[in-house]
């Protein structure tokens, strides 16, 4: 680690709780989601006669956001719009929710067919954190968080999960708003200043910054270290195993 990373990482020792994003932080489900989004938008945008969908679009307009916000953001980026609809819309192309539900079906199929495993470095960090007495929670925009955690074999590590299902049920604004992270801190019984947000997406890092959390850790899975720093990360690492030695 650099001196700067070491100095900032030392703040981990005084934190009380660690709030983990899921996709791209604990599990490599970003690949699953990227394939699902491409499966959704590549043919849809082609049919609309607009600029083709690329992986860059995922990072620019979709990554880290609640599913329907990702759909709406991607449509707006191409000058398209649809009625918003409602969560019970049948998967299809008639509304924003219908497109989102079609994407969710693709994710569920991918998980069922191929499963998912936790990043080894993230698992090492999580195990060391729990052993060190930190409280932990998962904060995810995904409505598949329970299924992903179960598939990865780490569901039992987390008593508190604030995901897309919880956010919809409780009317909590999704990332980049800090509300889901604030809700997780509240459920654990800590102030934001006592918590560390661990994120790999622009929107999640922004949520940590705007929620005034004690430390915001960016994990660079392809977004770019400088981009995460610019979005509000205090430090950026390539793998959470780099921070095990900074835990108390």
Query: Sheet containing 195-199: which strands, arranged edge to edge?
Result: 160-162, 135-139, 17-20, 195-199, 215-219, 235-237
Q: Say whether 21 is catalytic.
A: yes
Q: Residue 242 — φ and ψ, nearest 5°?
A: -65, -20
Q: Which of 8, 21, 163, 234 is catalytic?
A: 21
Q: Pairing between strand 17-20 and 135-139? A: parallel
Q: Which of 8, 23, 63, 200 is catalytic?
A: 23
194 burial type by CB count under 10 A (0-12 exposed, 13-18 middle, 19+ buried): middle
Q: Say whether 56 is catalytic.
A: no
Alpha helical stretches, state H, 10-66: 29-48, 55-57
CA 225 to chain centre: 16
CB-side exposure of 227: number of CA atoms within 13 Å?
14
- Catalogue the active-site residues: 21, 23
């Amino acid at each position: 680690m650099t001196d700067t990373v070491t100095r900032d990482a030392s703040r981990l020792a005084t934190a009380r709780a660690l709030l983990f994003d899921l996709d791209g932080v604990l599990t490599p489900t970003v690949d699953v989601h990227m394939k699902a989004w491409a499966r959704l938008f590549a043919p849809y945008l082609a049919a609309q006669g607009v600029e083709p969908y690329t992986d860059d679009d995922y990072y620019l307009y979709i990554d880290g956001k609640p599913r329907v916000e990702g759909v709406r953001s991607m449509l707006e980026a191409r000058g398209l719009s649809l009625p918003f609809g409602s969560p019970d819309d049948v998967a299809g192309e008639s509304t924003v929710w219908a497109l989102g539900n079609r994407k969710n079906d693709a994710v569920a199929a991918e998980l069922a067919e191929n499963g998912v495993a936790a990043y080894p470095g993230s698992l090492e960090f999580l195990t060391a954190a729990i052993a060190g007495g930190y409280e932990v929670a998962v904060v995810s925009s995904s409505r598949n968080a329970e299924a992903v955690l179960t598939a990865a074999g780490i569901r039992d590590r987390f008593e508190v999960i604030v995901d897309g299902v919880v956010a919809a049920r409780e009317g909590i604004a999704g990332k980049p708003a800090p509300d889901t992270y604030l809700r997780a801190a509240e459920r654990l019984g800590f102030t934001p200043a006592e918590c560390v947000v661990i994120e790999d997406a622009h929107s999640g890092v922004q949520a940590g910054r705007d929620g005034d959390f004690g430390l915001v850790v960016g994990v660079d899975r392809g977004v770019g270290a400088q981009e995460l720093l610019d979005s509000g990360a205090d430090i950026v690492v390539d793998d959470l195993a780099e921070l095990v030695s900074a835990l108390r």
